[in-house]
C-alpha cells in the first residue's frame, strides 16, 4: 500500500484536537485521515486543505469509494477551527 499524503494543515488540526482533549489516531490502512476519540465517541475525519482551490479539495476516487462503504458518517474538515466546531456540534453544542 502506498503511503498516504497529508494535507499541509494536517498537523495543525491534530494539535488543535489534542488541545481540547480529543485523541486523534492516524489509521495505517484506511482511506480517511483520522479517527478521533472524543468524549466516549469515535469520529472519522477526512482532512482537506482549505487554502487550496475547491477542485483540489475534492475527495479522491479511493476516498469516495471508502466513504460510500461506511456504516457511519465521515466528516470533511478544512481547518483546526472546523475540526473543533464539528466536535462541539456532534457533542451536542457543549464546551470544549
The domain that holds 62 is classified in CATH as 3.40.1350.10
Phi and psi of 61, rounded to 5°? -60, -45
Q: Which residues of 40-64 are buried (b: 16+ CB within 10 A; e: fewer)?
A: eeebbbbbbeeeeeeeeeebeeebe
* pLDDT digit string, tens, across residues 14-27: 999 999 999 888 77
Q: Is residue 25 part of a domain?
A: yes
Query: What residues make up the domain containing 27?
Result: 10-90
92 — pLDDT class (breaks 50, 70, 90): confident
- Domain assignment of residue 76, yes or no: yes
Q: What's the pLDDT tens digit per position in 58-86?
A: 988 988 888 888 889 999 999 999 999 99
Res. 7 pLDDT band, cuts 50 70 90: confident
Number of domains in the chain: 1
Amino acid at each position: 500500500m502506498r503511503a498516504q499524503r497529508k494535507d499541509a494543515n494536517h498537523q495543525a488540526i491534530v494539535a488543535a484536537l489534542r488541545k481540547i482533549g480529543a485523541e486523534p489516531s492516524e489509521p495505517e490502512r484506511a482511506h480517511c485521515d483520522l479517527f478521533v476519540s472524543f468524549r466516549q465517541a469515535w469520529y472519522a475525519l477526512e482532512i482537506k486543505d482549505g487554502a487550496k482551490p475547491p477542485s483540489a479539495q475534492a475527495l479522491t476516487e479511493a476516498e469516495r469509494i471508502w466513504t460510500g462503504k461506511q456504516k457511519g458518517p465521515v466528516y470533511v474538515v478544512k481547518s483546526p477551527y472546523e475540526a473543533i466546531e464539528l466536535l462541539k456540534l456532534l457533542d451536542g453544542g457543549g464546551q470544549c
